[in-house]
């Protein structure tokens, strides 16, 4: 028969799936770590902004007190 080809099936497909699962688990762990770092950075930024606002208000209060004394 002209044009017939023999195909061989891979019986080790289960091993390929475990490799995929390992890879996806590593990617998932990496994504989780990246998300956690992003959340930590946002929380740190908010904390610094709050502290800056408090310092600004303290500075404004002190500045106003200096002019009230005159």
DSSP assignment of 26-53 equals HHHHHHHHHHHHHHHHHHHHHHHHHHHH
Question: Whole domain around residue 43: which residue ranges?
Answer: 31-70
Residue 24 lies in a domain: no
Residue 68 lies in a domain: yes
When divided into structural domains, the chain yields a total of: 1
Per-residue pLDDT of the chain (70 residues; tens, 9 = 90+): 455 666 665 565 555 555 667 778 888 989 999 999 999 999 999 999 999 999 888 877 776 666 665 5
Residue 2 lies in a domain: no
Structure confidence at residue 36 (pLDDT): 96
Residue 20 lies in a domain: no
Structure tokens at 37: 């770092």
Structure confidence at residue 1 (pLDDT): 47
Structure confidence at residue 51 (pLDDT): 94
Residue 21 lies in a domain: no
CA distance 50 to 70: 31
Q: Supply the pTM of this predicted model.
A: 0.50
SS3 (DSSP) at 50: helix
Structure confidence at residue 10 (pLDDT): 59
Residue 9 lies in a domain: no
């Amino acid at each position: 028969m002209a044009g017939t080809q023999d195909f061989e099936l891979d019986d080790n497909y289960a091993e390929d799936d475990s490799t995929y699962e390992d890879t996806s688990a590593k990617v998932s762990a990496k994504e989780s770590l990246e998300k956690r770092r992003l959340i930590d950075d946002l929380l740190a930024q908010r904390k610094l902004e709050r502290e800056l606002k408090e310092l600004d208000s303290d500075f404004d209060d002190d500045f106003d007190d200096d002019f009230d004394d005159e």
